[in-house]
Amino acid sequence: MRKVNLIVLALVAIIYLLVAPVAWAQGGNVEQEIKALLDQTIQANLKADASFFQKHYADDATIVHGDGKMYTKAQEIEDLKSGVLKYESDDVRDSKIRVYGNMAVVNALVSYKGLVHGKPYSGDVRRMWVWMKQKGSWKCVAYQVTRVAPASQ
């Protein structure tokens, strides 16, 4: 019995040694893909490019803005097209990408300036995107914005 356990353990170790480098390599490629999508998302915000969000947001995406209100993909796109959301600057100061198989989570600290419902807004926000690979393409399935309180003086 002990011999069988050692053989199974050896086989598991061999499989791990063969599969792990491939998984790590794919993870690196995924991180690069997600980083490119983050950059494209920021540019789409600045250009009010609704077609980017039409293509890259899942139809059932959950979107939560800094005011705590939930939006659908259609509402988000309409707000961008109509100018309810207008980005003047959108600077990512820090971001972290974590990959979990066919999902990736991006957390970023962003300095934002623009208009929300016609009112000027500027400040720091934390944004989180959850991306999922669906039918060979990355789709944003969840997006949330949280305001960052100003540092006390």
Is 57's pLDDT higher than 70?
A: yes
Distance CA 41, CA 64 (A): 16
What does the pLDDT look like over 64-73, one tens digit per residue? 998 899 999 9
pLDDT above 60 (res 91): yes
| Residue 143 belongs to domain spanning | 2-147
Residue 98 has pLDDT above 90, yes or no: yes
- Is 6 a residue whose pLDDT tops 70? no
Residue 102, pLDDT > 60, answer yes
The pLDDT, as a whole number, for residue 149 is 85
Question: Can you name the residues that pair with 127 across neighbouring β-strands?
Answer: 108, 145
pLDDT > 80? residue 3: no
Residue 61 has pLDDT above 60, yes or no: yes
What is the structure's pLDDT at 116? Answer: 87
- Six token digits for residue 134: 């669906």
> What's the domain count of the chain?
1
CATH number at residue 56: 3.10.450.50
Higher-scoring residue by pLDDT: 153, 90 = 90
Q: What pLDDT, on a 0 to 100 scale, did the predictor assign at position 9?
A: 44
Mean pLDDT within 83-95 = 93
With CA atoms as reference, report the closest residue to 141 among 152, 153, 129, 149.
Answer: 129
18-47 pLDDT per residue, tens: 444 444 444 569 999 999 999 999 999 999
Report if residue 153 sits inside a domain: no
Residue 16 inside a domain? The answer is yes
DSSP bridge partners of 87: 114
CB 130 within 8 A of CB 100: no
Output the pTM of the full model.
0.78
42-46: Cβ within 8 A, 24+ apart: 42/90, 42/92, 45/80, 45/85, 45/87, 45/90, 46/87, 46/88, 46/89, 46/90
Is 137 within the bounds of a domain?
Answer: yes
Q: How many Å apart are CA 66 and CA 70, to the nearest integer?
A: 10
SS3 call for 76: helix
